Amino acid sequence: MMFENLLHQDSIAGRLRHDVAEGMLPPAILLSGPSMAGKLTAALEVARALSCEEDARWNCPCNHCRSHRALANPRTLLAGFRDMTPEIAASAEVLRRDDSDAPRFLLVRSARKLLRRFDPVLWEGDEKKLIKARAMMERLAETVDNILPGKALPEGKKLEKLLDSLVDDCAVIQKSLPSVLPVSQVRHITSWAVHSAGTDHKTVIIDGADRMPDASRNALLKFLEEPPVGTTAILITDRKAMLLPTIVSRLRDYSFRSRRPAEEAEVLRRVFREDEKRWNGLKEYFRAWKIGPSERMMESAAAFLDSARRSDPEFPSEAAEIRDQSDLIVFLDALGSELRRRWLDTDTPDHRRSAMEVDGIRQARVRAESLNLPSQLILRGLYISFGGTR
């Protein structure tokens, strides 16, 4: 059945199911309502249902549905801002406990909800803005592919390291996502919808639609006035009042409600395999997963800092394993987070030393990103500057 994975939004699911099945869904719709109510899930399901070759049930075997379930269908564009890192970290934890197909899909979909916002179509002409993150994105895409059901997962510590690296990479890549939708991306969406080849249905999903500058709003308004044939535009917002009335007037609104506490508890239990009694709803749960670097990377950063400050002649083994520049950037982020934590936890912090160490991390990042120096050379220099020796 369509929209069976949209939990505890029966009214909306019923309306969408009817409108899609009867061919009554307009070419531009708005999914509005509180955060964590399932709006993005609904948008992705609309895209899948509109392209399905059969009856759009969740386990439909058609090629379109298979690619949509893995969020890999090229006829859907996903743009706009959303912090995906809490959901990705939480999904990784589910997979640590259970490596069956459902947790795998959960993590794959969570990571691709972020990766799909960097589709080359959206960034045409702005590729230079992603140069620093490109290698990490490619590595993340390969990791996600290898998590799909049917692939052999590593075991034990190797799986832990794989998942930690995935979470760390997503945390860094998230920082490259614009906080507002650039007008260039709205123009690229329009061009793609009008000119891309093929007869399959196209769906454009704009998340955080209220986060647009005036130029983007005006460009979007022109697109919504007459969406190209065979294209559906879906706007998502937690703050409908922030949208221009002229934009809202061109959309059919599907207004979501807040889930009740018992319903949120069931989402936690069914989707994230959590003991719902531990959490006071979805917001508290995801707030706990709002992340910087992973726990493993933070532990490595703390050990590095401790060893350097006591002038230990033995270079830390975890740092010695860092060779890739993207791993180095994550490690530097972890060092910065560890320094801030210690500064806040110390009654009489050494401000001068802290400032020097923070500046050392900043300079190390510049050397990594601008001068392309070897990661080990940068780390050993930083280790010495923190007080350690070779």
User: What secondary structure, in 3-state letters, does the chain show?
Assistant: CCCCCCCCCHHHHHHHHHHHHCCCCCCEEEEECCCCCCHHHHHHHHHHHHHCCCCCCCCCCCHHHHHHHCCCCCCEEEECCCCCHHHHHHHHHHHHHCCCHHHHHHHHHHHHHHHHHHCCCCCCCCHHHHHHHHHHHHHHHHHHHHHCCCCCCCCHHHHHHHHHHHHHHHHHHHCCCCCCCCHHHHHHHHHHHHHCCCCCCEEEEECCCCCCCHHHHHHHHHHHHCCCCCEEEEEEECCHHHCCHHHHCCCEEEECCCCCHHHHHHHHHHCCCCCHHHCCCHHHHHHHCCCCCCHHHHHHHHHHHHHHHCCCCCCCHHHHCCCCHHHHHHHHHHHHHHHHHHHHHCCCCCHHHHHHHHHHHHHHHHHHHHHCCCHHHHHHHHHHHCCCCC
Tell me: pLDDT of 62 over 70.
yes
More confident residue, 30 or 372: 30
Average pLDDT over residues 237-247: 93
- Given this model, what pLDDT does residue 292 score? 62
- Given this model, what pLDDT does residue 252 score? 97
- pLDDT one-digit tens code per residue, 66-105: 999 999 999 999 999 999 999 999 999 999 999 999 999 9
Q: Give the lowest-confidence range in 14-18, 114-118, 321-325.
A: 321-325
- Given this model, what pLDDT does residue 122 score? 97
- Given this model, what pLDDT does residue 293 score? 67
Average pLDDT over residues 196-203: 87
- Given this model, what pLDDT does residue 291 score? 63
Tell me: pLDDT of 159 over 70.
yes
Tell me: pLDDT of 390 over 80.
no
- pLDDT one-digit tens code per residue, 37-46: 999 999 999 9
Averaged confidence pLDDT in the chain: 91
Average pLDDT over residues 223-249: 94
- Given this model, what pLDDT does residue 389 score? 44
- Given this model, what pLDDT does residue 105 score? 95
